[in-house]
């Protein structure tokens, strides 16, 4: 199975490079011209010049594509975004009921992202990490932003369902989603515990 690799450094790296290979091919052409007499007495310059031209026109080396980050690295990205979200929310004003719901939601997210065995369990569940990342990066900021914009228009033209009610409902839905993520993680740990119990029982009978 073919694998891609980045050429080494130093002399060995250059010998393996595209520039050296292209220059070598052009240099061989120069030697061919020398053997046919076309290069004349200046054949060393012809060979060197063709080698240099080949090295110059060769395409640059393509490094290996970056490897995707592991689960822990991805969770660190989510944790960093969560920190920025908290800084942003500290500067906005919300009505008391929505502010209370938001505080509970942020507390839940913070507990899941707190470094430790809970975060390790979360990192092992890509769907849970995706749901949390989406909520932190997109959903919560969108809830707050649309509330502030809609409230501005409502002040000009009162009527219709209040922006506050929409905001409270949105935050409640996000909290329910966070609870489902937490319940799934808890269920995973319960299955793990049951599996170990079964293993010990079977080992004891053997």
pLDDT tens digits, one per residue of 171-202: 999 999 999 999 999 999 999 999 999 999 98
Residue 170, judged by CB atoms within 10 A of its CB (0-12, 13-18, 19+), counts as buried
Q: Do residue 114 and residue 45 come from a single domain?
A: no
Q: Do residue 17 and residue 114 come from a single domain?
A: no
Number of other CB atoms surrounding residue 33 within 10 Å: 16
Q: Do residue 77 and residue 46 come from a single domain?
A: no
Q: Do residue 31 and residue 131 come from a single domain?
A: no
Q: Do residue 191 and residue 113 come from a single domain?
A: yes
Containing domain of residue 48, as a range? 10-57
143 within 8 A of 164, measured Cβ to Cβ:
no
Residue 190 belongs to some domain of the structure: yes
- What token pair was written down for 64? 């290996």
Q: Do residue 27 and residue 83 come from a single domain?
A: no
pLDDT tens digits, one per residue of 36-60: 766 667 667 766 776 777 666 666 6
pLDDT tens digits, one per residue of 71-127: 678 899 999 999 999 999 999 999 999 999 999 999 999 999 999 999 999 999 999
Q: What is the 3-state secondary structure (H, E, C) of the chain?
A: CCCCCCCCCHHHHHHCCHHHHHHHHHHHHHHHHHHCCCCHHHHHHHHHHHHHHHHHHCCCCCCCCCCCCCHHHHHHHHHHHHHHHHHHHCCCCCCHHHHHHHHHHHHHHHHHHCCCHHHHHHHCCHHHHHHHHHHHHHHHHHHHHHHHHHHHHHHHCCCCCCHHHHHHHHHHHHHHHHHHHHHHHHHHHHHHHHHHHHHHHHHHHC
Q: Do residue 89 and residue 186 come from a single domain?
A: yes
Number of domains in the chain: 2
Q: Do residue 104 and residue 141 come from a single domain?
A: yes
pLDDT tens digits, one per residue of 61-87: 555 554 555 667 889 999 999 999 999
């Amino acid at each position: 199975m073919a694998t891609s690799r980045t050429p080494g450094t130093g002399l060995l790296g250059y010998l393996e490079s595209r520039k050296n290979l292209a220059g070598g091919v052009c240099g061989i052409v120069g030697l061919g011209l020398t053997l046919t007499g076309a290069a004349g007495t200046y054949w060393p310059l012809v060979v060197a010049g063709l080698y240099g031209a080949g090295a110059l026109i060769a395409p640059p080396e393509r490094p290996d594509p970056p490897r995707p980050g592991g689960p822990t690295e991805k969770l660190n990205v989510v944790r960093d975004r969560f920190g920025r979200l908290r800084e942003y929310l500290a500067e906005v004003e919300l009505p008391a009921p929505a502010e209370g719901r938001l505080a509970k939601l942020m507390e839940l997210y913070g507990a899941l992202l707190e470094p430790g065995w809970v975060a390790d369990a979360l990192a092992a569940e890509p769907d849970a990490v995706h749901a949390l990342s989406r909520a932190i990066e997109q959903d919560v900021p969108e809830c707050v932003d649309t509330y502030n914009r809609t409230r501005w228009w409502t002040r000009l033209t009162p009527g219709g369902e209040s922006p506050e009610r929409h905001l409270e409902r949105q935050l409640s839905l996000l909290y329910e989603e966070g609870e489902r993520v937490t319940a799934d993680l808890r269920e995973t740990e319960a299955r793990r515990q049951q599996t170990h119990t079964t293993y010990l029982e079977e080992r004891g009978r053997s």
